[in-house]
């Protein structure tokens, strides 16, 4: 089993590296998260049940259950490696420019984000998720990532139009994340937005600016061709992005390790304690713990034990997200109605866990290896298409801005959370872009009609 885990970690490391270099953020996020889960399983296999999970039954951590969990993880590992290593088209067609997001819509979104910022206190003032901190749950839900999708699209459109520099746009996104999420102790969605802004907004904008400095030869004068950054310029931009990713990971694990105690013991002492915890390598309390790797590993063990014990969700996780899309929880509370439980909530009927559910463990719980392979293939295939096609397709780019922010927390919160990004993109982002494209077309048609010369009647 250690050999299987090491092989998977090697494949996932290679997949994450290739996904980063090829600017495939969705595959990068999934590969990194999946590697943390495999690492957690490897530590459990070597050291047994971690102390922080002593309330869970011992049979979850037996050798046979861990072996089955590693078999479950192997299926998406292979698919993720293929998705990262398969090359994309060498000469993609040029992408149409994005329609301009109207300023009034951005003002409404800005007001909504201000309400979220004012609805709860920071972790410097109150402990994370405590009563004193307050909650913005009534304002967030599916609307919050949808708002971020439009912010990312607006930043990308203005960068492509030359209205704002990529570094300033990215700095603006980071500043908003600090105010809205990181200062409140929230890291899941914030990390997803951060990665999306980095690889969908900042890096393409920097490469575009670098390519603009290159002299165009006579062979590059066709309207379909676009100047490209040199390998040296690309390496420089990706090197800066890699440093930013390391800084993000460091920030996230420090926040997760100190957010509960920072208001009580102070910033310095809380960060010092978090740093000591990260250096630990016993009982799975190191960096993979702060990245939720051990929690995801335990979720896979739970799902494996349930399905192998004869308890299956019978593919309910496949059609359930469609119900949740048209039965939002906020509306259900207002109307005093109910909906079928999500997999993460149903898991609590059988085990005590710390919230969420591993997506691939959930697939196995729904229908064994058949459901795991079919759903993993469809999901990773869809993410691969978004990553590759967003280079030339406006539709894929818009969907990526809606989907990728949900992936970091979605990987550990189940398929319903990931599906939320796809439904947001299909039901809201794409229709809005289609309408804006129609408005632009109408305006250009009227402008063309006004500029057409009017034939004068001949003089009699």
Residue 99 lies in a domain: no
Highest mean pLDDT among 121-125, 333-337, 453-457 belongs to: 121-125
Which pLDDT band, with edges at 50, 70 and 90, does 52 fall under?
confident
> What does the buried/exposed string (b/e) look like for 364-376 if buried means 16 or more CB atoms within 10 Å of the residue's CB?
bbbbeeebbbebb
Where in the sequence is the domain holding 28, given as residue range(s)?
A: 2-87+292-391
Which pLDDT band, with edges at 50, 70 and 90, does 127 fall under?
confident
CB under 8 Å to 440, separation ≥6 — which residues? 99, 100
Residue 58 lies in a domain: yes
Predicted pLDDT of residue 107: 92
Residue 34 lies in a domain: yes
Highest mean pLDDT among 196-200, 206-210, 450-454 belongs to: 196-200
Report the chain's mean pLDDT, rounded to a whole number. 85
Q: How far apart are CA 187 and CA 297, in angstroms?
A: 19
Residue 305 lies in a domain: yes
Residue 449 lies in a domain: no
Residue 64 lies in a domain: yes
Q: pTM of the prediction?
A: 0.86
Residue 398 lies in a domain: no
Output the DSSP codes for 1-51: -HHHHHHHHHHHHHHHHHHHHTT-HHHHHHHHHHHHHHHHHHHHHHH-S-G
Q: What is the pLDDT of residues 267-297, one digit of tens each?
A: 877 778 777 766 654 444 444 555 566 889 9
- What's the total number of domains in the chain? 1
Residue 346 lies in a domain: yes
Q: What is the pLDDT of residues 374-409, one digit of tens each?
A: 999 999 999 999 999 998 888 899 999 999 998 988
Under the phi-then-psi rule, with left for phi > 0, alpha for psi from -120 to 50, and beta for the rest, what region is 49?
beta
Q: What is the mean pLDDT of residues 406-435?
A: 87
């Amino acid at each position: 089993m250690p050999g299987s885990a090491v092989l998977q970690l090697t494949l996932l490391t290679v997949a994450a590296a290739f996904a980063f270099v090829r600017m495939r953020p969705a595959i990068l996020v999934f590969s990194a998260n999946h590697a943390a889960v495999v690492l957690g399983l490897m530590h459990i296999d070597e050291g047994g049940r971690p102390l922080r999970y002593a309330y869970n039954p011992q049979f979850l951590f037996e050798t046979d259950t861990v072996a089955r969990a590693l078999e479950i993880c192997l299926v998406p590992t292979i698919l993720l490696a293929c998705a990262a290593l398969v090359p994309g088209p060498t000469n993609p067609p040029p992408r149409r420019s994005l329609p301009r997001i109207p300023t009034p819509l951005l003002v409404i979104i800005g007001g909504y984000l201000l309400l979220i910022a004012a609805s709860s206190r920071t972790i410097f003032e109150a402990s994370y998720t405590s009563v004193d901190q307050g909650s913005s749950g009534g304002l967030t839900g599916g609307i919050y990532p949808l708002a971020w999708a439009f912010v990312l699209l607006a930043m990308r459109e203005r960068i492509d139009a030359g209205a704002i520099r990529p570094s300033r746009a990215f700095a603006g996104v980071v500043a908003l994340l600090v105010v809205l999420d990181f200062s409140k102790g929230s890291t899941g969605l914030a990390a997803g937005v951060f990665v999306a802004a980095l690889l969908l907004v900042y890096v393409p904008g920097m490469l575009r600016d670098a390519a603009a400095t290159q002299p165009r030869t006579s062979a590059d004068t066709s309207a379909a061709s676009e100047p490209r950054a040199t390998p040296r310029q690309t390496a420089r931009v990706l090197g800066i992005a890699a440093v930013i990713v390391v800084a993000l990971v460091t920030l996230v694990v420090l926040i997760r390790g100190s957010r509960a105690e920072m208001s009580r013991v102070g910033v310095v002492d809380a960060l010092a304690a978090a740093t000591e915890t990260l250096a630990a390598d016993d009982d799975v309390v190191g960096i993979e713990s702060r990245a939720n790797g051990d929690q995801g590993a335990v979720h896979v063990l739970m799902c494996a034990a349930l399905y192998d014990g004869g308890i299956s969700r019978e593919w309910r996780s496949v059609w359930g997200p469609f119900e949740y899309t048209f039965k939002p929880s906020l509306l259900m509370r207002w109307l005093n109605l109910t909906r079928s439980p999500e997999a993460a909530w149903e898991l609590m009927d059988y085990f005590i866990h710390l919230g969420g559910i591993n997506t691939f463990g959930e697939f196995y719980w729904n229908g064994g290896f058949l459901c795991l392979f079919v759903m993993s293939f469809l999901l990773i295939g869809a993410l691969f298409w978004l990553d590759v096609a967003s280079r030339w397709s406006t539709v894929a780019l818009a969907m990526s801005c809606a989907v990728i922010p949900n992936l970091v927390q979605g990987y550990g919160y189940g398929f319903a959370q990931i599906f939320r990004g796809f439904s947001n993109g299909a039901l809201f982002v794409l229709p809005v872009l289609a309408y804006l494209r129609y408005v632009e077309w109408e305006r250009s048609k009227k402008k063309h009609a006004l500029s057409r010369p009017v034939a004068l009647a001949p003089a009699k």
